[in-house]
Amino acid sequence: MKIYKAPWSTSLIVVSVLATLLCLVITFGVPFLPAPKHGGEAGMWLRWLPLALVFGCALFTVRSYTIAPDAILVQRLLWATRLPRAGLKSAEFVPKAMCRSLRTCGNGGFFSFTGFYWSKTLKSYRAYVMDLNKTVVLRYERRTVVVSPDSPADFVRELLEPLNGRAARMRFSKRTGFDCGRPKAYCEPRYRMTTSLETENLLRRVSRSFYLSLRLLPGSVRPTLGLAYLLARASDSIADAASASIVLRGRLLEGLPGTWAPGEAPDLGPLPASERSLLESLPQLLRQLDASPDREEILDVWKIILAGQIFDLERFGPGAGPLTIGEAVRYTGLVAGCVGKFWTRICFKHVPGYSEESPEAMCGLGYEFGCGLQWVNILRDRHADAAAGRVYVTREDFPAAMRAARENLAAGSRYAVLVRPRRLRAACRLPLAIGLRTLDLVEANPQASRLKVGRGFVWLSLVRALWH
């Protein structure tokens, strides 16, 4: 048997503390108030109800989850609720699975999220949850249960091991993810499991703006786009590891996509903590790539990006001159324009009614949008890059580069208008607003070594993107 703790989320702690204090004030503040004119002693006894509510709700607190050979035991304060493993059809780690749920009968955040709920996605289900960010969905033939162990991915893997110790044979289905072979009581988690807390933390550390955009996306496209982004950032970290030799970095990039065994990655020298964590997670990301229903699309775009990164690495060898405008245009298309196309194709594939415009036209606008965002990066970082020996834009070409960036972002603005779902439209508007603001700062301060959009503007842009 293995025990998984049930940690409290910050929101649950805050709500429980405030509600408890309110109940205590009501209970012990009543004796200091004037005696009621009606009700007598019975009315005075009612003051103890809030205190009873505190103790009653506290009893339903979930302490841990124990995976026994034949059952999952949800440990409460004084008893354990038994969930049989027999009949379990699937288990998925789905962060915030209880989002937009209606509580039909139960506790909605006073010491726990327990009881009966209903949502459009899960329908009617039973919850034994302490942290809404770590929810695991257990599906039976006639019911659904949601729990929140401290290590959701490990919990799912442990749960799905057959009783005889042999792993169930798995078959992959593009429509539903993994289906289980024998024994039928167990099923490998579907692809949604790849949106683990570890992956989300990686995304949050490596890119603040993209992480915010990703959080706006529906679950049908978020894992694919997040995984593709992390893979591209990992190879970019290899390409930018200035302490390592160009030959070593080129060899590593040419070997991708391929295996990157844990502990066998060469020393690339000092790297930022976020990039080092990303490279350490690369074996896991490659396994997720193999399991992705959009594996071919991710591979196609990553190979194009790798070609751009290798071009960049080889072009800026010792004593290399600056890029011409033509070379810079080609480079932006390789490392970013293809991403706009990829984003568009994935959204058309998984999001019904993504746009009333044709996929071909949207892919063209998406390509320009991606190029525009890359121009923003080039113009923002041009002084730091020049100090490192990579001149992407000369002083003479600066006006032409600014025009190209604004023209590409104008196409991005048209792209965002044509996106129909509000959340996806907001996910496009947010980087567009940040990019335009960055260009304004670059144009107003052309000699500044490093420009960065403030956090306040980012959050304000997020609100505006969601509002329009």
Q: How confident is the model at residue 14 (pLDDT cuts 50, 70, 90)?
A: very high
The Cα–Cα gap between 253 and 317 comes to 16
Query: Which domains are present in the chain?
Result: 2-190 (no CATH), 197-467 (1.10.600.10)
> What DSSP designation does 454 have?
-
Torsion-angle region of 240 (φ positive above 0: left; ψ -120 to 50: alpha; else: beta):
alpha
Q: How far is residue 74's CA from residue 63's CA, in Å, rounded to a whole number? A: 8
pLDDT digits (tens, 9 = 90+) for 227-248: 999 999 889 888 888 788 888 8
E strands, 120-262, where?
123-129, 136-140, 144-147, 170-173, 177-180
Query: pLDDT-based confidence at 398, cuts 50/70/90?
Result: very high
The pLDDT of residue 209 is 66
Alpha carbons 308 and 333: distance in angstroms, whole number: 8
pLDDT at 357: 93
101-110, 148-157, 381-390, 453-462: range with highest mean pLDDT: 101-110
Spatial contact of 102 and 119, defined as CB atoms under 8 Å apart: yes
Higher-scoring residue by pLDDT: 446, 393: 393
d(CA 381, CA 375): 10
pLDDT for position 31: 54
> What pLDDT is recorded for position 40?
53
**Exposure on the CB side of residue 192, measured as CA atoms within 13 A:** 16
**Residues 257-307 pLDDT 10s:** 775 655 555 677 777 887 888 888 888 888 888 888 899 999 999 999 999
Point out the least confidently predicted range of 118-122, 199-203, 342-346: 199-203
Among 130-139, 201-210, 382-391, the range scoring the smallest mean pLDDT is: 201-210
Task: Report, as an integer, the average pLDDT of 64-92.
Answer: 89
What integer pLDDT is reported at residue 38 of this predicted model? 52
